[in-house]
Structure 1
């Protein structure tokens, strides 16, 4: 399947749920209230963040199975797949236990939730803990499917889960009223169903009898050597992406979180274009890096230009129409408090979108250590900067801190590409 067809599948798979979210956000804000909706966005973030307990094995499975398929030596792929999936299940269970242990202090103390919402938040977090092992195993299964470049199946399921992520809360409110734990219970049931369907696809894709293959120590070591550094990125990067909303809740209260998270969620959904391209690009680059580094460089440069040219007009239009768009969508009061955040974040949207391509290229070459070190460095600067700007400039300051962080990330990635990854390769894009 062509790179562009895979990209189109990824774009549709990520973009369609976004359209459901456009309808769901104002409905939920009206029917459960701004504070409860803010808590729901935190739960969405927690389920995603605790997916880091896959230890980077989803991406490692994609990279190493794709390389194995390119080498025509498929004999170790069943062992590799089983080893990776077994580890994702075990680590997901650990992650679920961690979130369950944190549910009470999060719900009753740390998030500064209003007293009438505290018990509902606590119960919702306990239910969300059940979703962590489902998320980690699902990430591993998706990694296997992407190694085989089966982006059609991956994205049909992604569309279903994404639509459920936004659509089921509306259904829950309509059936059961404004109960957070009922919403989360339906979300977990949807993840379980998608996991079962992913398992069936992977079961049919891998050689017959792969589930009976032994877990090989060398395969586990090979996956974990890549995945260990991926884990550092998977811990630090989502922490930097999601920490702002938790810090806002802790400093200013959960009641204002939605004014920040709604623009953030909408704008980051616009990153579907670079995300779609780089998801398709990753297994192709992993193979091409081994066989033709010059072709890999040309593929990388074409992709970077395409992303930049697509995002510039999108970001300009988003910034220019921020107040009007929010007023029509969520009302004048919401727009008054959030439009400037959209303007600031539009700059970060451009920087972050371009960074997707060098990030994918560096990891496709097996250099997960490089991106992990960058993320640690960025976090050490970003966290104190976030507290400082939030304290003096409120939620707009949090948006400025995010833009500075993603700009720093892009600069480091481009510098590494130029000085290391393609340093000895002649010839640019054609």
Structure 2
């Protein structure tokens, strides 16, 4: 499967899933009530934290599947690894379901502070949450395998269909069957079960049949344990880095100020949607090329991926930074809210963009099986981040925390990445800085400032939207033309 098709499929899939996750929220709240919808928020949080229980198996399996496409495994060895991880995953899924069931009563009574939902309803909801999380835990094993095998078009088509059934089907169930949180989670569980079974069948059909029956192999697990353990550490530290500011600010700020910060973070965090599809498509390709020891193709793919990140994410970040007030006012229609949130959003968008620049270097490290660098850097980051927030917030408030986020990620770009280039892609560091990052983003920023300077005022919401859309297109095109490899690809596409 071509890299271009995988990137496009990932963008379409990610975009559609985002639409499905947001489109029906007002209806969920209408039929379930805000308290029951809060349980859905808890479900999302549980799913994120319980993903740590895969102990790095999911990314490890995806990497080994990519190595299989590059000749790093034969049919028997990859099947043995898959079967071994399947057995471990099924056991952990049972632990998740039973574990949440065993504490469901305590969670409903002591953790959740509800005024209208009965304890019995919340207890049943937590039990169903455990079943759904367990099923999605298993599902992730197979989606990771399909991504590693670079069949991401198929993966995204199926995922989009299931996301539609999950979102739209939930509304149908709530409107015509039962407007209860239990019915909602039962439907989610049914969709997760169907999805897991379908993806399992797909993986079984794609992989060539082994000469002998696949079996559990401790040796196969031992061979990937170091990479898996490293991924577990990286995931844990990444969760801490992404959540520690919210945990601390919820205690240090007033609820109103914390709400402004959360809203700003929600918008700035949306930038990740633009680069996740790129990383998902390029990582298996990197792994395949590393396995084949094709250094020239690896360098070309790396710079293409890095330039795509700068062009796509950088253009959006520049728009959020330069037009923050106009975008927020257009969206919310609330001048007071805009005045509070826009400055924080601009700074968070800058920090998130700097964090996104590390996406391709990070994927390259994983393709080489090198996880220790990210772990060490993130440990230092967590150690510095907590006291920095505690020191800054009493003086500067939420905006101070946003600037801490910028400084932290600037450190990644200016210091942390140098350690990678000392070991892999040794001669590519300054090419990355110049061609992949600086030239495209400087051109994008210049065009955005020019558009802002010439932007008319008092043109109404439709006019405002139209001008912002045209400005965004101009910024995106300018960044794409300024990125050397992207420009060549774009020229070939336009000229046919």
Report the TM-score, using the length of structure 2 for normalisation. 0.73
Instruction: Name the structure 1 match of 2:310.
Output: 308
Structure 2 gap segments, 5+ residues each: 433-484, 486-496
Q: CA deviation at 1:312?
A: 2.3
Equivalent residues of 1:260, 1:395 under 8 A apart: yes
Q: Distance in 2 between matches of 1:96 and 1:24?
A: 27
Give the 5 Å matches for 1:322-361.
Answer: 322-327=324-329, 329=331, 332=334, 335=338, 338-361=341-364
Give the 5 Å matches for 1:293-304.
Answer: 293-304=295-306
Question: Given the superposition, is the C-alpha separation of residues 253 and 427 from structure 1 closer, same or farther in structure 2, using an over 3 Å criterion?
Answer: closer
Instruction: Name the structure 1 match of 2:279.
Output: 278
Range with greater deviation from structure 2 (268-277 or 349-358): 268-277
Instruction: Name the structure 1 match of 2:2.
Output: 2
Q: Distance in 1 between matches of 2:16 and 2:135?
A: 22
Instruction: Name the structure 1 match of 2:195.
Output: 194
Instruction: Name the structure 1 match of 2:294.
Output: 292
* Deviation readout 1:195-218 (Å, 9 max, x if unpaired): 121112112112347994111121
Instruction: Name the structure 2 match of 1:159.
Output: 160
Q: CA deviation at 1:407?
A: 4.0
Instruction: Name the structure 1 match of 2:448.
Output: none
Give the 5 Å matches for 1:10-89.
Answer: 10-25=10-25, 40-71=40-71, 73-89=74-90
SS at match of 1:201: helix
* Deviation readout 1:334-373 (Å, 9 max, x if unpaired): 6566444432321133122222111100000110222222
Q: Distance in 2 between matches of 1:41 and 1:217?
A: 37
Instruction: Name the structure 2 match of 1:383.
Output: 386
SS at match of 2:75: coil
Question: Given the superposition, is the C-alpha separation of residues 244 and 427 from structure 1 closer, same or farther in structure 2, using an over 3 Å criterion?
Answer: closer
Instruction: Name the structure 1 match of 2:447.
Output: none
Question: Given the superposition, is the C-alpha separation of residues 160 and 327 from structure 1 closer, same or farther in structure 2, using an over 3 Å criterion?
Answer: farther
Question: Given the superposition, is the C-alpha separation of residues 138 and 219 from structure 1 closer, same or farther in structure 2, using an over 3 Å criterion?
Answer: same
Give the 5 Å matches for 1:118-267.
Answer: 119=119, 123-163=124-164, 167=168, 174=175, 180-208=181-209, 212-246=213-247, 260-261=261-262, 263-267=264-268
Equivalent residues of 1:83, 1:219 under 8 A apart: yes
Equivalent residues of 1:17, 1:166 under 8 A apart: no
The one of 409, 414, 418 equivalent to 1:415 is 418
Q: CA deviation at 1:7?
A: 0.7
Q: Distance in 2 between matches of 1:319 and 1:178?
A: 41
Range with greater deviation from structure 2 (270-279 or 193-202): 270-279
Report the TM-score, using the length of structure 1 for normalisation. 0.83
Equivalent residues of 2:97, 2:134 under 8 A apart: yes
Cα RMSD after superposing both structures: 3.7
SS at match of 1:421: coil
* Deviation readout 1:256-307 (Å, 9 max, x if unpaired): 8765555544543432332111111111111212312343223212321221
Q: CA deviation at 1:47?
A: 1.0
Larger radius of gyration: 2
Aligned residues: 429
Q: Distance in 2 between matches of 1:179 and 1:330?
A: 30
Instruction: Name the structure 2 match of 1:92.
Output: 93
The one of 317, 320, 324 equivalent to 2:319 is 317
Q: CA deviation at 1:6?
A: 0.8
Instruction: Name the structure 1 match of 2:467.
Output: none
Equivalent residues of 1:351, 1:407 under 8 A apart: yes
Instruction: Name the structure 2 match of 1:368.
Output: 371
Range with greater deviation from structure 2 (237-246 or 76-85): 237-246
SS at match of 1:76: helix
Q: Distance in 2 between matches of 1:292 and 1:116?
A: 62
Q: CA deviation at 1:3?
A: 1.0
Q: Choose between structure 1 and 2 for higher RCO, CA contacts under 8 A separated by at least 6 residues.
A: 1
Question: Given the superposition, is the C-alpha separation of residues 405 and 67 from structure 1 closer, same or farther in structure 2, using an over 3 Å criterion?
Answer: same
Equivalent residues of 1:53, 1:92 under 8 A apart: no
Q: Distance in 2 between matches of 1:178 and 1:343?
A: 40
* Deviation readout 1:348-405 (Å, 9 max, x if unpaired): 3312222211110000011022222222322222334445555666655554554444
Question: Given the superposition, is the C-alpha separation of residues 313 and 84 from structure 1 closer, same or farther in structure 2, using an over 3 Å criterion?
Answer: same
Equivalent residues of 1:55, 1:91 under 8 A apart: no
SS at match of 1:71: coil
SS at match of 2:216: coil
Equivalent residues of 2:16, 2:160 under 8 A apart: yes
Question: Given the superposition, is the C-alpha separation of residues 420 and 146 from structure 1 closer, same or farther in structure 2, using an over 3 Å criterion?
Answer: same
Equivalent residues of 1:54, 1:92 under 8 A apart: no
